[in-house]
Amino acid sequence: MFFSININNGVAIYQQIVRQVKFAIAEGSLQPGQLLPGGRSLSVELAINPNTVVRAYQQLQSEGVLESLRGRGMVVCQGAAKFCRQERKAIITDGLKTVLTEALHAGLSPEEIEDLVLKQLKKLGPKINTVATESPSEPAE
């Protein structure tokens, strides 16, 4: 699994980790019972404070997505996929609502917005990497 952190996107680093774990579970690249990277090793890999990873894992544990296996680490809970698919949809819906509201406030018509969305989807096509891939995607223009 590939984690990527963007310090400039306005989303807290721990929240980015939470989202990426949920998205990986939702798409099936993380399976129930699968062990996640340890907090220290992930913090070194991402060059972030270990407490940030611990905070993300604690949130995922409190939501019932992860559970701690004594002496082994954090694993994906049974039944987490359904919850994560719902969460993924809610996160994406919120982001779309924000962008669409901004576009409407900027004076774009619904037709212009739809045209922009369809053009971007066509541009992105199959080039987008998911949370399961090994390299970050190219930014869209």
Residue 139, both tokens: 């930014």
Instruction: Write the Ramachandran bin of 38: left for phi over 0, alpha for psi from -120 to 50, otherwise beta.
Output: beta
Residue 60 binned pLDDT confidence (cut-offs 50, 70, 90): very high
CATH number at residue 139: 1.10.10.10
Backbone angles phi, psi at 40, to 5 degrees: -65, -45
- Dump pLDDT digits (tens) for 94-108: 999 999 999 999 999
The larger pLDDT score, comparing residue 31 to residue 71, is at 31
Hey, what amino acid is at 40?
Answer: R
Mean of all residue pLDDT scores within the chain = 90
CA nearest to 54, candidates 38, 67, 69: 38
Q: What does the pLDDT read at residue 124?
A: 87
Mean per-residue pLDDT for 10-32? 95
The larger pLDDT score, comparing residue 64 to residue 127, is at 64
Distances (CA, A) of 1 to 82, 106, 114: 19, 38, 33
Residue 2 binned pLDDT confidence (cut-offs 50, 70, 90): confident
- pLDDT at residue 85 tops 60: yes
- pLDDT at residue 139 tops 60: no
- Full domain range(s) for residue 111: 1-141
- pLDDT at residue 59 tops 50: yes
On whether the CB atoms of residues 53 and 17 are closer than 8 A, the answer is yes
CA nearest to 38, candidates 4, 66, 7: 66
Residue 138 binned pLDDT confidence (cut-offs 50, 70, 90): very low
CA nearest to 4, candidates 98, 32, 95, 19: 19
- Dump pLDDT digits (tens) for 124-137: 877 666 666 655 44
Q: How many domains does the chain have?
A: 1
CA nearest to 128, candidates 115, 139, 141, 114: 139
User: Can you give the pTM of this predicted structure?
Assistant: 0.80
On whether the CB atoms of residues 40 and 46 are closer than 8 A, the answer is no
The larger pLDDT score, comparing residue 139 to residue 65, is at 65
